Amino acid sequence: MKLKLFAAVLALSLLAAAAMAVEFNVKDYGAVGDGKTDNTQAFQKALDDAGKALYGTVVVDNGNYLFKGHLTMPVGVTLKGTRASVPANNGIRDAGLPLPTEGGSTLMPTENRGNEKGEPFILMNTNCTVQGFVFYYPYQETEKVPAAYPWTVAMRGKNPALLDCELLNSYNGIDASQNERQLVRNISGQPLRRGIFTDEIYDIGRWENIHWNPWYSMKGDLWDFQLTQGEGFILGKSDWHYVLNTFAYGYAIGYRFIDNGHGTTNGQLMGAAADGCNTSVQVDAASGLGVLITNGQFVAMFKEDPVMVRIKDSNKGAVMFQNCSFWGPCKNNVVMEGGELTLQNCNFVNWNRDNASVEIKGGNAIISSCRFQDAGAPEKMGGTATALIFADNIIKSGKKIQRSVVKAKVEEHNNIYGLPK
């Protein structure tokens, strides 16, 4: 009898919970998508009411919604626009259109222009989801040094998810730090200073299908700023970070690994790519547990001394590249100053023939089963490098390893210098 009563109570509780999981349309709260009306209060009231329900959803119809303030999402709330997938919006760059899109739900922040330390436009909390929007800053200018703004979205708590959105011209895009089990998936756009940043993650972050392309502008001082100061993907302390199918074009640094005082990243990047950067991958600090980068393509060509991989002497951790391709034009494909580096089954093209493709100034390296396809030397050892294994590689030029001020134990065997006839 007691068991039946318990089952009945549980069933009623589940039905009540389902009944409470309702939708709230921002237009019912006075929101207007005309690109002129301030919608901050209307959206926040809808979010607050959704928070009082059990996992309520705030629905945003097509329109261009202007905001003079910022939004805070209660626990468990979903903010949902009409975009089922992200647009390219390259028409803005090509045709100079004043608004980002015809149709779709577009959110237009304006608060804290010139103050990147201000509140993020949207602050997410535990079990919150934001999905289906274009974010567009209407007061940004396509040919001038970009105005600073805070993060467009900041993800906090446990299991926040950002899905199917475009950050068309954010200054700082996504602050995916100080949370657990974040999910960022199907995101595009052109963040001008920082694309996505993570730090203080102690339980598995996931980034999937994030592509930063210059849909907004490749003009004037704005483009020069992005090439000298822009960073696409920035990873600080994160345990078991998973990154799948990502891309950055036209940044000073495509992927950057740092220690912000909280620790470093261990994790894996599969299908990572950076094109048109000054430095495709820069490792200031990585975990001793290792960063694994697989099936990547990295191209550096702009500004002074472009390079695909730059590993700083501040690094003490391990970085491993497998099945990756590196090309320029550039002086070097890889410059290493510290830590542990593995290059396996990789392809190197288009470096300066007077220099080495891989220049190792410090740390330990294993380079094996790689192809070096230009006329320059494949590898240069020197400085405070401690050990090198260079084995089973094919070197088209026929040139041997360069050794300058070698202070290392070098093991070299089974390399083919000059393509066999």
In which band, very low, low, confident or very high, does the pLDDT at 396 lie, cut at 50, 70 and 90? confident
Q: What is the mean pLDDT of residues 167-177?
A: 97
- Cα–Cα distance between 195 and 198 in angstroms, integer? 10
Q: What topology is assigned to 23-229 in CATH?
A: Pectate Lyase C-like (2.160.20)
Q: What share of the chain is helix, strand, coil (3-state, %, to 5)?
A: 10, 45, 45
Cα 417–chain centre separation: 38
Q: For 98-126, what is each residue's pLDDT tens digit?
A: 555 567 899 999 999 999 999 999 999 99
State yes or no: pLDDT of 410 exceeds 90.
no
Q: For 259-285, what is each residue's pLDDT tens digit?
A: 999 999 999 999 999 999 999 999 999
CB count within 10 Å of CB 291 equals: 25
Tokens at 208, concatenated: 């999937």
Please, how many CA atoms are within 13 Å of residue 328, restricted to the half-sphere of its CB? 22
State yes or no: pLDDT of 6 exceeds 60.
no
**Res 409: pLDDT:** 74
Q: For 321-352, what is each residue's pLDDT tens digit?
A: 999 999 988 889 999 999 999 999 999 998 88
Residue 304, burial from CB neighbour count under 10 angstroms (0-12, 13-18, 19+): exposed
Domain spans of the chain, in order of start: 23-229, 284-421
- Cα–Cα distance between 205 and 175 in angstroms, integer? 12
Q: For 24-65, what is each residue's pLDDT tens digit?
A: 999 999 999 999 999 999 999 999 999 999 889 999 999 999
State yes or no: pLDDT of 158 exceeds 70.
yes
Least confident stretch, 174-188, 291-305, 343-357, 384-398: 384-398
Q: What is the mean pLDDT of residues 305-328?
A: 96
Residue that has been written with the tokens 């991958």 in this structure = 281
Give the DSSP per-residue string, 165-213: EEESS-SEEEE--SEES-EEEEEEE--SSEEEEE-SB-S--EEEEEEE-
pTM over 0.85: yes
